[in-house]
Amino acid sequence: MDKKKYFLQVFRKAEKKYGKYEKRLAGEGWGADWKTLISTIMSAQSRDDTTIRIAEDLFRKYENLKKLAEAKYSNVLKIFRSLNYNRTKAKNVISAANFILSEFNGEIPDSIDELVRIPGVGRKTANLVITECHGKDGITVDTHVHRIANVLELVKTKNPTETEFALMKIVPKSYWSKINRIFVLWGKDVPGKDKGKLLKRLNV
């Protein structure tokens, strides 16, 4: 199988179906790079709608990185009470704010290597930030992207990092930053590991 050709064939159909969806994902539409990064840290293993609502509450109380860096853990935890892994995330967002201020003078870096130094930031968040905030090429792999790429047999990988690097080998660079949104919307629409159901939803 020519995986590059197969990816393009499937992705174009997925983009045709889901490209016009207006649903907002957790890392989109914040208007400030630091908010994009913090909300993405918050989004792991949590629903987008829940993350967005809680992030809005957080940013209403802490209007900038300095205020968030000075926040009391107990106060952030109170805002995060209905967020999965709330204790770890409350600790991470305060630490991240402090780290960005001390190491990067309050600016959000545009390289993966520097971003993953920030507390709570892994490759998924780092890729989302470089694509969403800096317009760079990156493949953001969450559970949906990892699952769909494997179910479609585009890759045969054990974790999201392996999936990211495997997709880099078969996906044209101009498509890298488009994968996450389309595959996430598709993945939310069709759960599970049934290849037939996934493709049927696209009328492939």
Dist. CA 42–CA 30, nearest whole Å: 14
pLDDT at residue 204, rounded to an integer: 65
List pLDDT tens digits, range 79-106.
Answer: 999 999 999 999 999 999 999 999 999 9
Domains of the chain, with CATH numbers? 3-23+138-200 (1.10.1670.10), 33-132 (1.10.340.30)
Angstrom distance (rounded) from CA 99 to CA 32: 17
Could you report the per-residue pLDDT of 47-82, keeping only the tens digit for each? Answer: 999 999 999 999 999 999 999 999 999 999 999 999
Q: Which of 5, 66, 78, 124 is catalytic?
A: 124
Write the burial class of residue 122 (CB in 10 Å: 0-12 exposed, 13-18 middle, 19+ buried): middle
pTM over 0.75: yes
How many Cα atoms sit within 13 Å of 24 on the Cβ side? 13
- pLDDT band at 203, cuts 50/70/90? confident
Q: Quick check: 171 and 132 in contact, CB under 8 A?
A: no
Tell me 110's DSSP state.
Answer: S
Whether residue 34 is predicted with pLDDT greater than 70 in this model: the reply is yes
For 122, what's the count of Cα atoms within 13 Å in the CB-facing half-sphere? 13
Q: What is the mean pLDDT of residues 25-49?
A: 96
Nearest residue to 90 via CA among 76, 69, 72: 76
Residues above pLDDT 70, as percent of the chain: 100
Q: Is 188 annotated in the active site?
A: no
The per-residue pLDDT for 1 is 81
